[in-house]
Each structure stands twice: as C-alpha cells, then as structure tokens.
C-alpha cells in the first residue's frame, strides 16, 4: 500500500490532536502556500532557510498582519515537528510583520442599544449574547445547552480542544429569552426525531449560520444610522471597552475574553484614551 500523501498525513495528525476544523483548514492552506512558494519541493528537502524566506516574504511582499504571519509559522512548525518529526532551527532571520496601529472599532452604549433594537428573534439573541458575554461569533453559535448555567449566571465557552475553555457571565436580561429559545429548540428536536431526521437533521435545519448573523448585524447597524463599520466582532470589542470604562480591571477583562496574553487586551486601553491622553479638562470637571 502506498504511503499517504503529505497533506493527508497532516489532516490525520490534526484530527488525532483534536484541533478544530478551522485550524485544519488554516494549516493546510499555509503548508500548500509554503510548498508552492518553493517550487513544489517536498518539505523534507527543505528546512529553516526556506521557512525563514517564506515567512519574511509574507511580511515584506505580502504585508500580512503579525497574527497571520504567526499562524503561518505555527502551521509550518506543526508540519515539521508533528508530521515529519524534524526540528527546525531558531528562526532568527525572519523579517517580522509590523503590528497594525489601528485601534478596534467600538460602539457607544447608545449605539449598541440602537443596534439591538433593530434585531429580533434568534438574531437578536445571538447578538445580545456576543455583546453581553464578549464571545466570538462562532463561540456564540456553537454554544451548547450544557454550557449555560442559569443558576450561577455563567456561560462556559469551549475552545474545541479543552485547553483554553473559559467562563464568562450570563446577563440577567437574557435568562428568560434564552430559556424560551431552548424550549423551542427542544420542541423542534422532538419533532425532528418523530419525523425521522435525527440529530444531524436538527443541526442542518435549525442551526443559525454565521453569515446570516453577520448580514443581520451589519444591516441593523445601517438601519440604526451608525456610521462605523458594524460586525458581530465589533460587539466583542464593545463588551471589553465598556467593562474597562465601568472600572473593571484589565486582568478580569483578559480572562473573560480568553486572551492568553494581557498585551492583547491592552489594545482596549487605547480606545479609552480621549484627547490629551485621556485627561479630562479642568473646565469639564467644573461642569460635572
């Protein structure tokens, strides 16, 4: 029997380690790009020199973000260490991608209120969960019943591998809407089982697609007259910023967002700065 092709070996190794489907797709993408960049040579014939050249090319010619370059690096390290069982040398010669100076788009509390007022049903519930709990879109859409603790007012957010699961809050305002939604889901599930669809049918027929939520949130932003670009991820940015504005410490916000490094969370402190480095004018203080 012929040996499996390289990319098939990568897929199998990723599945054994229980990485997410998105991670699998990303790793395969970068490994293909690396191979094509080097004239379709097999990675066994290459090493640190070729990896450094490829990553530097992404930063200089491709002008990718640091996170994108790091993802490509992770993919190639996985390929060499986990699949080919080869160690790469220290990649000191890599030209690092420059970190963007852009701060994230953040809505004001009034803008969030206006946005949510123009959504209804499951789209309103999905957007409200993202804003109230600081979840990413797919984290909210993949939320399971067992991960919602109504008694403790708590949500467990799964990362797919169990290594970075985190807990965040469940808003009081969402208790009843969420209970009502779950009751409807159970009813639909029971009906599907009676009709012979089974669990797979429930997922296909009743799962809310991410693109539907993205379009709904964007349309609601336009309807609310918000001039900023609005997306589900902007709700996560707004969650973090509004907590910091309310006086919560950055370590707490870091844990709620699931950031492994507090420097990632620090971007929201830049959003808080206004005018002269966040200092309030003495005249404004007199008027407060």
The pLDDT tens digits of the residues spanning 241-276 come to 999 988 888 999 999 998 888 878 888 887 776 544
pLDDT at 64 over 90: no
CA proximity to 108, closest of 9, 5, 226, 11: 226
pLDDT at 160 over 80: no
Could you tell me the fold of the domain covering 6-83?
A: DNA polymerase; domain 1 (1.10.150)
Task: Please list the alpha-helical segments (H only) found in the chain.
Answer: 6-16, 21-37, 48-60, 66-78, 109-117, 121-133, 137-141, 175-195, 198-206, 210-223, 232-245, 250-257, 262-265, 267-272, 282-287
Could you report the per-residue pLDDT of 209-242, keeping only the tens digit for each?
Answer: 889 999 999 999 999 999 999 999 999 999 999 9
Asked whether the whole model's pTM tops 0.85, one would answer no
| Equal CATH topology for 6-83 and 109-272 | no
Could you tell me the fold of the domain covering 109-272?
A: hpI Integrase; Chain A (1.10.443)
pLDDT at 286 over 70: no
Domain ranges of the chain: 6-83, 109-272
Q: Work out the average pLDDT over 43-54.
A: 92
Tokens standing for 283?
């005249």
Q: Work out the average pLDDT over 73-85.
A: 93
pLDDT at 129 over 50: yes
Catalytic residues: 136, 161, 233, 236, 259, 268
Q: Measure the CA–CA gap between 260 and 164, rounded to whole angstroms.
A: 9
Of the pLDDT bands very low, low, confident and very high (cuts 50, 70, 90), residue 198 is very low
Query: What is the pLDDT, as a whole number, of residue 2?
Result: 55
pLDDT at 74 over 60: yes
Q: Work out the average pLDDT over 127-131.
A: 93
Comparison of pLDDT for 84 and 262, the residue scoring more = 84
Q: Determine which of 73-77, 156-160, 226-230 has the lowest per-residue pLDDT on average.
A: 156-160
């Amino acid at each position: 029997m012929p040996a499996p092709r390289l990319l098939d070996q990568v897929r199998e190794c990723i599945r054994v380690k229980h990485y997410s489907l998105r991670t699998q797709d990303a790793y395969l993408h970068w490994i293909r790009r690396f191979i094509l960049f080097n004239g379709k040579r097999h990675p066994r014939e290459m090493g640190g020199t070729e990896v450094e050249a490829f990553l530097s090319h992404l930063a200089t010619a491709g002008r990718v973000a640091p996170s994108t370059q790091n993802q490509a690096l992770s993919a190639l390290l996985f390929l060499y260490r986990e699949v080919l069982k080869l160690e790469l040398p220290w990649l000191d010669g890599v030209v690092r991608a420059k970190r963007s100076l852009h701060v994230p788009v953040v809505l004001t509390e009034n803008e969030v209120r206006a946005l949510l007022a123009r959504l209804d049903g499951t789209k309103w519930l999905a957007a409200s969960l993202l804003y109230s709990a600081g979840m990413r879109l797919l984290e909210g859409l993949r939320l399971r019943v067992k991960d919602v603790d109504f008694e403790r007012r708590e949500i467990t957010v799964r990362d797919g591998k169990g290594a970075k699961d985190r807990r965040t809050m469940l808003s009081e305002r969402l208790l009843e809407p969420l209970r009502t939604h779950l009751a409807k889901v159970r009813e639909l599930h029971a009906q599907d089982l009676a009709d012979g669809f089974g669990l797979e049918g429930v997922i296909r027929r009743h799962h809310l697609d991410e693109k539907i939520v993205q379009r709904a949130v964007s349309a609601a932003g336009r309807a609310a007259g918000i001039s900023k670009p609005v997306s589900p991820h902007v709700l996560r940015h707004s969650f973090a910023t509004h907590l910091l504005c309310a006086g919560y410490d950055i370590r707490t916000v870091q844990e709620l967002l699931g950031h492994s490094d507090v420097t990632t969370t620090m971007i929201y402190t830049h959003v808080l700065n206004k005018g002269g480095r966040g200092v309030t004018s003495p005249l404004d203080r007199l008027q407060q």
